Amino acid sequence: MTDEPVVRASAGWLLEHGLWAQACALTGLGEWAVNEGQMGRDEAVTLTLAQAEAIGLLRVASREASRQPVIVRAVQTCDACPSQWDAWDAEGAYWYLRYRFGQGTARQAGAEGGSTGRDGEGEPGRVLSFRHGDPLDGSISLEEFCVHAGLRLELED
């Protein structure tokens, strides 16, 4: 057994970032494994550090992390069905976070007094979305929501 460092990324993340085919070539996975139901988008693919560097995974992940919004304040407005929060990021922008029917959305308010994110009016802000759990799920913790939405959670005291 070796103690070589490894990197894990979900099949979905690799697909979304155009790294799936390269990861498959290095690991022996079939390129159609997700489409044919042999593995789920949430399942992890394990690569050695050298493999991850070879396909550019570390560069892409680093670039993505530097653009990742940081949520510093959140107020839960509904516990379940849907789970939802009013939240603010480190730059002071408002976000409406909602999870219902296994679908999560994080909608940033538009610039200069645009939409609050709830009504869809005004200039659109950034929208992040994900599918997680059963299609009837409507309950999720803020921590888990942020992980799946690609938000960093650093709540201020």
The per-residue pLDDT for range 68-112, each reduced to its tens digit, is 899 999 999 999 899 999 999 998 999 999 999 999 999 998 644
Per-residue confidence band for 128, with pLDDT thresholds at 50, 70 and 90: confident
Instruction: Please write the tens of the pLDDT for every residue from 29-83.
Output: 999 999 999 999 889 899 999 999 999 998 888 777 677 899 999 999 999 899 9
What gap in Å lies between CA 88 and CA 108, rounded to an integer?
Answer: 9
**pTM of the predicted model as reported, rounded to 2 decimal places:** 0.57
- Flag whether 1 is in a domain: no
For residues 114 and 50, state if they share a domain: no
The pLDDT value recorded for residue 112 is 40
Residue 20 has pLDDT above 90, yes or no: yes
Pick from 66, 92, 107: which residue ends a domain? 66
Exposed (0-12), middle (13-18) or buried (19+): which is 75, by Cβ within 10 Å? exposed
Domain count, the chain: 2
For residues 40 and 91, state if they share a domain: no
The pLDDT value recorded for residue 109 is 85
For residues 91 and 141, state if they share a domain: yes
CB 130 within 8 A of CB 113: no
The pLDDT value recorded for residue 110 is 61
The pLDDT value recorded for residue 85 is 97
For residues 75 and 125, state if they share a domain: yes
- Flag whether 144 is in a domain: yes
- Flag whether 19 is in a domain: yes
| Structure tokens given for 157 | 């005291």
**Domain boundaries, position 79:** 70-153
Q: Tell me the three state secondary structure of residue 107.
A: strand
